[in-house]
Structure 1
Amino acid sequence: MKVEHIDPNVLAEYFGRTRWFGGKGRPFEVTAVERLGAVPGAVDDGPRVVVHLVELTYGDPEGGTELYQVPLALYTEAESRLDHAFVGWWEEPEHGWVHAYDALHDKVAMASWLRTFVEAEASPDGTVTDAASGLSFHRVPGHALDSDVHSALFSGEQSNSSVLFGEDSLMKLFRKVTPGRNPDITVHEVLTRAGSEHVAALYGWVDWRDPASGEVVQLAMLQEFLRTATDGWDLALTSVRDLFAEADLHAHEVGGDFAGEASRLGEALREVHTALATHFPTEDRGAEAARELAEAMRARLDAALPAVPELAAHADTLRAAYDRVAALPTLSVQQVHGDLHLGQTLRTSTGWRIVDFEGEPAKPLAERQLPDSPWRDVAGMLRSFDYAPRVVERSHDEDDAESAAQRAYRAEEWAHRNRNHFLVAYAGGEVSDEQRILLDAYVADKAVYETVYETRNRPTWVSIPLEAIARIGDS
C-alpha cells in the first residue's frame, strides 16, 4: 500500500543518521513509500510494528534508484527510552497521531518478530502469513525457539541490521533490498537441511510477495547464534601481532602461529563448495565462457588504469594472466560464496563457520545469484591472508628503517605461510596448471579492484595490492 501521510523529508533526514544507508554523500530524495504490512505477533500493550519499503532516487550523474527496508514501531505517546531511534511523528489514518521509532532498537517491538517465528514453528506448513498484506514468516524445522528472551541490537554493522534474541538466535534484517530470492537465505537453507557443519544453521526467514508483480522480496533471516565464535579476521590479526612481538622467531615458531587454522579453514571451504555443488546446479561451460570471463577481467583493468597510474607498469603481466584464462578449453561453475574473506568466517569451539552468502553487496541481486568458479572464493581468501599482516604492519609508528624492513619481511613470511597452508588444504595437494591459471587471474582481478579502492580511500595502502599484482605468475 502506497503511503501518502508520511513526509518524505522526515525519512530522508532519518536515512542520513543511520549507519546502514549506503548512499551517504550523494544527493537523493525519497520518491515513494510503500507499507508492506504489520508484523502479526503483536505484544499486548505494545506498539504497532509496520514494515515499509522506501524508494530513493539519486540526483547525481550516476543516478538510479534503491529500495530500503524500514520497520517502524508506532506509539501513541512519546517513548523517551527510544529517543536515539526517533524517526518522526505524523497522523496515521484510522489511528491518529503516532510517534515512530526504528523498530530494531525497541525490545518490545522486536518481541513481535520473535513471537511470529514461534507461531510459524507451530503451524502445519511452518509459515505464518498476514492475510491483509502477504507478509510471511517461515521456519525451518529442527530447532525450538524461546519466545521469552529479550532482544539486543548489534551496533557495528554497516549495511544490514542484526538483532540477537537471548543467546540462541540472531535475526539479520536486510536494509537494502531487491525483488528476488536472496542467496544468503537460499544457500543457508540448503546447507542447513543438508546438515553442513560449516555454516550457522538457518532457523527461518521473512518475505513479502508483491501482489502487482508476483515477485518475492526477502526481508530478513533468523539463524543460529554462534555464542563461542571469534571473527576470523580478528584471530588473524592477533596471530600477526604475536609474530611481530617475537623478533627472533619465525612464523612457525610463534605460539600464535595461524597455519593450522588456515589449513582447517581451507578444508572447511572445500567441504562447503562440495555441498553447494551437490545441492545446486553445476555446469562445465565451454571455451566461450572462459573467453568471456577473461574479457570481463580485461575491462575492469582498463577501467582501473586511469584511476591508478601505478597499474600501468603491470598491465602487460595482468593481460597475459587474463589471456591464459581465455585459452582455457572449459570453465566449471557452481554456487559459490561470492565475497569471501576472513571477515566472513567465524571460529567456534567446534570448527570454522562461513557466513554471509549474499555475495558482493555492490553487485545487482541477479548477478549475485549467478554461478561462478569456486576459485573466486579461494582468491578472496588469499587476498585476505595477504592483507592481515600488512594492516598490522601499518599500525606501528614510524621508526628506524631496519625495524620497518624487519616487519615487512615478517609480514610477507606470515602471509606466504598461511596462503600456502590454506591453498594446499583446499586443493587437497598441489593445484593443477588450469587451476593455477584461474587462481592467478582471480587474485589479479581482486587486487586490481583493491588498487582502485585504496587509491580513493587510503592512498598510502595501494602498495598492498600492487605488491600482490607483482607476484602474479610466480609459483
Structure 2
Amino acid sequence: MSEAATRPTAHATALLASLDPLLREWLPRQRWFAGKGRPIGSFEPVAVTELLPRTAPSGLLHLLLRVRRPLVPAQDTALEGPSTEHTGDCYQLLLGVRRTLPPQLAPALIGHVTEGPLAGQTVYEALHDPRLAALLLERLRMPGRHGVLRFERDMSVGMPSGLTPRPLAAEQSNSSVVYGDTFILKLFRRVVPGVNPDLELPLHLARQGCARVPAPAAWFLAELTGGAADAGAAGEACGLGVLQPFLAAAEDGWELALRMLGKGEAFTGEARALGRATAEVHAALADALPTVTLGRAQIGLIADAMARRLAAAAQAVPALRPYAPGLLTAFEALADLGGEGQSWTAQRIHGDLHLGQCLRSPDGHWSLIDFEGEPARPLAERRMPQPPARDVAGMLRSFDYAAATRDPWAREWATDCRAAFCVGYADVAGRDPRTDPVLLRAHETDKAVYEVLYEARHRPDWLPVPLAAARRLAENGSADAAH
C-alpha cells in the first residue's frame, strides 16, 4: 500500500462512517479510553493503513482515529491538562476484519458492519487474534515503512519468529501482547505527536548501561504529514508501540506487596531495595539527559500550577473541599522557599512511579517499567525535567494504597515502608528525600489531589484512600509523618 493510500481519503472517511455506530458503543467500554462519561461528538480518520488486505481470510486495519467530544473544563483541565473540542484525542486501533468470527474470538467482537466499504464484514479487536498479533511481531522483525508506519529495531537483539502471542488481560491505559514469554509489545492507545517517554527514556538508559530497565528491542511510529498532522505538530512522528524483553519470572511489585502484607510479613527490605533501584535510575537519567536548575520563577510557576489543580479538583469533588485550605499551604510553602532563593535540580524522571510499575525477579533484582508518565498529561509536560521528589512521592502514595487493601488499614506497615524506601534511596543518592520536607510534601500533596479526582471519576470505591492522605497532609503538614 502506498503512503498516499494511508491518508484520510474519501474512502477512509466512508470506511469510518461505516464503523461509526460500532465504535460509539465499543470505545467507551475500553479501559484506555479517556472520554468516559462524556458524549462522543464525532470521529475523524487521521491515518488508515491496511497491514493485511481485507481480501485475506482475516484482514488487519491499523487506524489512527481522532475522537472529538465536548469539553468539560473543570474535569479536563484538572486531570488531563488543557484540551479543546476542536483538537480532540487521537487513538490507535487495530481492527481485525472477517466474514465470520470463530467462537474463540467472540470476546473480541466489536460488531457487524451493515453498510459502506466493510458491509457484510465482522470487525473485532485484532490483538486477540493470534494470527494478526503474530503479524505485528513480523513487521517489527523487519524494519521498514508501511504507509505512514515506520518499524525500527535494535539489530543486536535476536528476535526469533514463530513466538506465540497472548494479550494481557490486566486493565491499563494501553494494551500489551506477550510473545512466547520472550518479549512484550506495549501499544500506546492515546497517541500524540512527539517521542513517547516510554521509548525515549529506556533507550537512553540502555545506552547508559542501566540494568534496572528492560532495553527496547523494536518499536514503531507513525509519520504524519499534511492534513493528517492536524492531530499535532506537522512532521512529528507519533510513537505507537515498543517491544521489550518480557521478565517472565518477575513478580509485580503491587502483587508482591499485597501478598506479603496478607501474610503479615514485613516489606521493608523490599522497599529499601526498591528505593536503591529508583535512585540508580534517577542517577542514570541525570547522566544521560540534561538537568536544569529551578529558581524563583520556575518554582513559582510549579507551585501555581499545583494550586490550580487543587482548585479544579476541589470544584469537581466536593469531598475534597474541607481539606483544600490546608493542602494549599503545601504549595504556598514551596513558593515561599523559592522566593527566598532556594533552588532545586530538575531532571527527567519516571513520572508515574508506583508499585505496579516495578518488577522483582526471583533473585531480588528490581526493575522499573512503563516510563510513559501519567498518560492523561500533555506529552510536553511529561517530557519536562522534574525534581526526583516527584517519583519519590508517587511511591510513598503507592505504599498507602497497598495498606488500604487491609481491613483495618495497615497504617504502620505503610509508614515503615515509606521510611525504608527513603533510606534505600539515600543509600545510592547520598541524600534522604525526607531532608527536603517542603518539596516532598508539595509533590505528595499534588499527587494525592490527582488521585482524588481520578478515583472520583473512575474508581469511586477507592476515593477514601487519597482523601485520607489529603486529610493527613492538610492537618499535619508533613509528607513523611506517621499516619
Q: Secondary structure at the match of 1:12?
A: helix
1:242 pairs, out of 256, 259, 263, with 263
Residue 319 of structure 1 deviates from its aligned partner by 4.8
Q: How many Å separate the matches in 2 of 1:449 and 1:323?
A: 20
Q: How many Å separate the matches in 2 of 1:455 and 1:179?
A: 29
**Greater mean alpha carbon deviation, residues 265-274 or residues 174-183:** 174-183
Which residue matches 1:122? Answer: none
1:173 pairs, out of 153, 167, 187, with 187
Which residue matches 1:281? Answer: 290
Q: How many Å separate the matches in 1 of 2:411 and 2:311?
A: 29
Q: Secondary structure at the match of 1:206?
A: strand
Residue 442 of structure 1 deviates from its aligned partner by 1.1
Say whether the 8 Å CA contact 2:165–2:177 is kept in structure 1: yes
Say whether the 8 Å CA contact 1:325–1:438 is kept in structure 2: no
Q: How many Å separate the matches in 2 of 1:47 and 1:108?
A: 9
* 2:372 pairs with 1:358: yes
Residue 258 of structure 1 deviates from its aligned partner by 0.8
Q: Secondary structure at the match of 2:406?
A: helix
* 2:468 pairs with 1:467: no
Q: Secondary structure at the match of 2:178?
A: strand
Say whether the 8 Å CA contact 1:107–1:152 is kept in structure 2: yes
1:28 pairs, out of 31, 36, 40, with 40
Residue 150 of structure 1 deviates from its aligned partner by 1.4
1:156 pairs, out of 162, 166, 170, with 170
CA deviations on 1:332-373 (whole Å, 9 max, x unpaired) are 111111111111111112411111111112211121111111
Say whether the 8 Å CA contact 2:426–2:433 is kept in structure 1: no
- The equivalences for 1:285-364 within 5 A come to 285-306=294-315, 307=318, 308-312=320-324, 314-315=326-327, 317-326=329-338, 327-350=340-363, 351-364=365-378
* Larger of the two Rg values belongs to structure: 1
Kindly tell me: are residues 334 and 432 of structure 1, through their superposed partners in 2, closer, same or farther at Cα, counting changes over 3 Å?
A: closer
Residue 185 of structure 1 deviates from its aligned partner by 0.7
TM-score (norm. length: structure 1): 0.84
Which residue matches 1:106? Answer: 129
Q: How many Å separate the matches in 1 of 2:56 and 2:164?
A: 17
Give ranges in structure 2 of 5+ residues lacking alignment. Answer: 1-6, 74-83, 227-233
Q: How many Å separate the matches in 1 of 2:108 and 2:477?
A: 49
2:113 pairs, out of 89, 101, 117, with 89
Matched AA of 1:337: H
CA deviations on 1:61-88 (whole Å, 9 max, x unpaired) are 4463111111122235544432322333
Residue 32 of structure 1 deviates from its aligned partner by 0.8
Which residue matches 2:229? Answer: none
Matched AA of 1:417: D
CA deviations on 1:431-460 (whole Å, 9 max, x unpaired) are 378733211221222223334455662454
Matched AA of 1:204: A
Q: Secondary structure at the match of 2:41?
A: strand
Kindly tell me: are residues 49 and 388 of structure 1, through their superposed partners in 2, closer, same or farther at Cα, counting changes over 3 Å?
A: same
Say whether the 8 Å CA contact 1:304–1:448 is kept in structure 2: yes
Q: How many Å separate the matches in 2 of 1:469 and 1:229?
A: 38
Say whether the 8 Å CA contact 1:277–1:334 is kept in structure 2: yes
- The equivalences for 1:41-440 within 5 A come to 47-59=58-70, 61-62=72-73, 64=85, 65-87=88-110, 88-89=112-113, 98-119=121-142, 127-130=143-146, 133-212=147-226, 213-243=234-264, 256-306=265-315, 307=318, 308-312=320-324, 314-315=326-327, 317-326=329-338, 327-350=340-363, 351-393=365-407, 407=408, 411-428=410-427, 431=432, 435-440=436-441
Say whether the 8 Å CA contact 1:35–1:50 is kept in structure 2: no
Residue 328 of structure 1 deviates from its aligned partner by 4.5
Q: How many Å separate the matches in 1 of 2:324 and 2:119?
A: 63
Give ranges in structure 1 of 5+ residues lacking alignment. Answer: 120-126, 244-255, 394-406
Q: How many Å separate the matches in 1 of 2:328 and 2:161?
A: 60
Which residue matches 1:402? Answer: none
Q: How many Å separate the matches in 1 of 2:48 and 2:124?
A: 17
Residue 167 of structure 1 deviates from its aligned partner by 0.9
Kindly tell me: are residues 451 and 54 of structure 1, through their superposed partners in 2, closer, same or farther at Cα, counting changes over 3 Å?
A: closer
Cα RMSD, aligned residues only = 2.7
Equivalences, count: 437
- What is the percentage of aligned positions where both structures have the same residue? 36
CA deviations on 1:277-326 (whole Å, 9 max, x unpaired) are 11111112322212222222233333344532320562474355334443
Matched AA of 1:66: D
Residue 184 of structure 1 deviates from its aligned partner by 0.5
Q: Secondary structure at the match of 1:236?
A: helix
Kindly tell me: are residues 270 and 389 of structure 1, through their superposed partners in 2, closer, same or farther at Cα, counting changes over 3 Å?
A: same
